Structure 1
C-alpha cells in the first residue's frame, strides 16, 4: 500500500471480529515503531503486548468496569490484542547526563529543566507508526487514553512498578489491534460527527496568523 493511502485509510477502529491477529503483523508494527525519532536517540519507549485472552481480560479488568459495558467498551474489549506503549523518562535523563549531551543542561535526573517531556512525545510518535503499520497490514487499531483513576491498577497488572535499578515505565495510553468488525458494530467516533479541518486552515507561513493563502502576497 502506498504511504499516502495508509495515511488516508488510518481510522480509529472501535469494534473487532474474533479473527486472530497474525503475530508477524504485531512484530512488524513494533519494528516500525522503534524507527520513530527520539531526542538524543534516547529511545525511551517500551511496549507491553497483550495477545492472549487472559492478559487482555486482565487489562480490561484493571482499566474499566466490565460488568455492563457500553457500546464503546464492548467493541474495544473485542480486540484480540492490546499494546500498551510506555515512556521511560529515566532513559532521557541518563542520556542527557552523558558527555556529548551535558552541555544541554538536561541531565542529572532533573526533569524540571525540560521544556517538553520528550519521553511522552517520542513514545506517541512511535505509537503513530504502530497505528500506520497496522493499517498497512489491512487491520484496524485504536489508540485511547487510560482512565485517570485506574492508571495505577493498570500499571500493577502489567508489572510496571518501581524498581531500585530503574524508574518504572509509564503507560501513555493503549492500542487495540484486530480485524475490523462492520462499521455499525462499534461506537461512532467524533470524526463521524465533526468536520476534518483542511491543512490550509491550520498552516501559517512565516508567522502565526499569516495563514497560507496569502503566501505570494
Structure 2
C-alpha cells in the first residue's frame, strides 16, 4: 500500500471480529515503533503486548468496571485479540541529557520545555497504528482513565508509580462491519482541511 493511502485509510477502529492477528504484524509494528524520532536517541519507551485471551481480559478487567455488562463501545473494543500498552520512560531522557555530549550537568526535569518522553512514545504509537493499517487490519489508540491507572499498572506488572508510565493503549484486530461498533467523532464531525489550519509566515496569515 502506498504511504499516502496508509495515511488516508488510518482511522480509529472501535469494533473487531474475533479473528486472530498474525503475530508477524505485531512484531513489524513494534519494529517500526522503535524507528520513531526520539530526543537524544534516548529511546525511552516500552511496549507491553497482550495477545492471549487471558491477558487481554485482565487488561479490560483492570481498566473498567463494565466488563460483565459492556456498552456498545466497550463490547466492540473487547473483541480485539491484541492490546498494546505503550509506556514512556522519563528516566532514560533525564539520564541521557546528563551525559557529557549533551552539556547538562544534572537530571533536572525543569530543563525540558515539553515532556518529550511522552511525545516520543506517542509518535511511536502512531507508527504502530500506521503499520497495522498497512497490513489491512484496524487499531485504536485510547487513554487510560486516571482512576484506573493503578489497577492497570498492577495487572501489567508495572511499578505503582514512575517508569515505565502507560500513556494509553492500542487495540489491534480485524475490523468488524462499521455498523456493529460505536460511531467515532470522524463520522459526526467535519474533517478540517489542512488549508484552514496551516499558516504561512505567521499565525493568522492563513494559506493562500
Into which bin does the TM-score normalised by the smaller protein fall?
over 0.9
Partner of 2:39: 39
CA distance in 1, matches of 2:158, 2:107: 20
Partner of 1:129: 127
Partner of 2:53: 53
Q: CA deviation at 1:162?
A: 5.8
CA distance in 1, matches of 2:163, 2:10: 31
The 5-angstrom pairing of residues 84-99 of structure 1 reads 84-99=85-100
- Structure 1 ranges of 4+ moved more than 4 A: none
CA distance in 2, matches of 1:206, 1:44: 34
Q: How many aligned positions are there?
A: 207
RMSD: 1.2
Encode CA deviations 1:55-95: one digit per residue, 9 max, x unaligned: 00100000011121110011111100000000000000000
CA distance in 1, matches of 2:96, 2:141: 28
- The normalised TM-score by structure 2 is 0.97
Q: CA deviation at 1:113?
A: 2.1
Partner of 1:20: 20
CA distance in 1, matches of 2:80, 2:110: 38
Q: CA deviation at 1:160?
A: 1.1
CA distance in 2, matches of 1:168, 1:118: 14
Q: CA deviation at 1:110?
A: 1.7
The 5-angstrom pairing of residues 109-188 of structure 1 reads 109-161=107-159, 168-188=163-183
Encode CA deviations 1:97-137: one digit per residue, 9 max, x unaligned: 110012xx3x6232122110000000000000000000000
1:192 to 187, 190, 195: 187
CA distance in 2, matches of 1:162, 1:44: 18
